[in-house]
Structure 1
Amino acid sequence: MKRTSTPATRVFVYGTLLSGEPNHGLLSGARLVGPAKTRPRFTLYDYGPFPALASGGKHAVAGEVYEVDALMLAALDRLEGHPRFYQRTTIALDGASRVEAYLFPTERLAGRPIIESGCWRRHLKERKSW
């Protein structure tokens, strides 16, 4: 009996799902497409233990793109609380490819610090030196 495979979904990660970060294990078995940046139309916020990406803004946010199957995408949706906490949305990366990303509602980010560099890893290093 032939197994039908589900089509892969490309997902842009920019925080705790990055390689070496605490939630990266959820991507075990996913194919790393490579490093990527968003177009400069977003804002990255410090939400304490994790970042929050919001549309609107002037930053290009750094991250990685992975190809995931339907089961892994469902696991990511659970982690990110989609659609009640984060909302999975299609965005355009620098270079025009379109991927799924987890965005945070802007109205829930009032007063949160903006990560000017657009890079969670760099921000973590800088935060340790405060």
Structure 2
Amino acid sequence: MALVWVYGTLRRGEGNHGLLTDCAYLGQWWSPPCFYLLDLGEYPGVITGQQAVLGEIYVVDEPTLARLDRLEEVPVEYDHGRLRTPWGEALYYHYRGPTRGLAAIASGDWRARYVC
């Protein structure tokens, strides 16, 4: 079992959340200000920066983690990062693709990406 912090389309109510419906949801949590949340179009990515990002923490088993890794194209488009959370150390998906010309989502919340 592993903890996973998700910040985009895997969150509740988002398009890929179905991969986590059988996993224990621990809660919503803002990261420390150590990221930039990038708008990649249909989904976001985080890179190292100075922004807090809103996400959710789940307990996942190995088969679920393997499915998430396939979705996130590990290790091509994303790789695993580790982050201390109130529930313990969690994995997250760190974007490793090109960033030139991409905008950060100022709110730090994928769901609020269109809010000015």
* Aligned: 1:78 with 2:70: yes
Residue 110 of structure 2 corresponds to: 120
Corresponding residue of 1:4: none
1:96 CA displacement: 8.2
Q: For structure 2, list consecutive stretches of 5 or more residues without a partner in the other structure.
A: none
Q: Which 4+ stretches in 1 moved above 3 angstroms?
A: none
Q: Distance in 2 between matches of 1:33 and 1:96?
A: 8
Distance of 1:92 and 1:60 partners within structure 2: 13
The separation in 2 between residues aligned to 1:63 and 1:112, in whole angstroms, is: 20
Aligned to 1:111: 101
Is the radius of gyration larger for structure 1 or structure 2? 1
2:21 paired with 1:31: no
Helix, strand or coil for the counterpart of 2:11?
A: coil
Secondary structure in structure 1 of the residue aligned to 2:32: coil
Q: Where does residue 61 of structure 2 map in the other structure?
A: 69
Sequence identity percentage: 38
SS for the counterpart of 1:10 is strand
Distance across 2 between alignment mates of 1:40 and 1:74? 28
Report the alpha carbon displacement of residue 92 of structure 1 after superposing the two structures with TM: 2.6
Q: Tell me how far 1:31 sits from its aligned partner.
A: 0.2
Change (3 A) 1:42 1:100: same
Q: Normalising by structure 2, what TM-score?
A: 0.93
Deviations 1:60-104 (A, max 9, x none): 1001000000000000000000011111121234x5832100001
Instruction: Provide the aligned length of Structure 1 versus Structure 2.
Output: 116
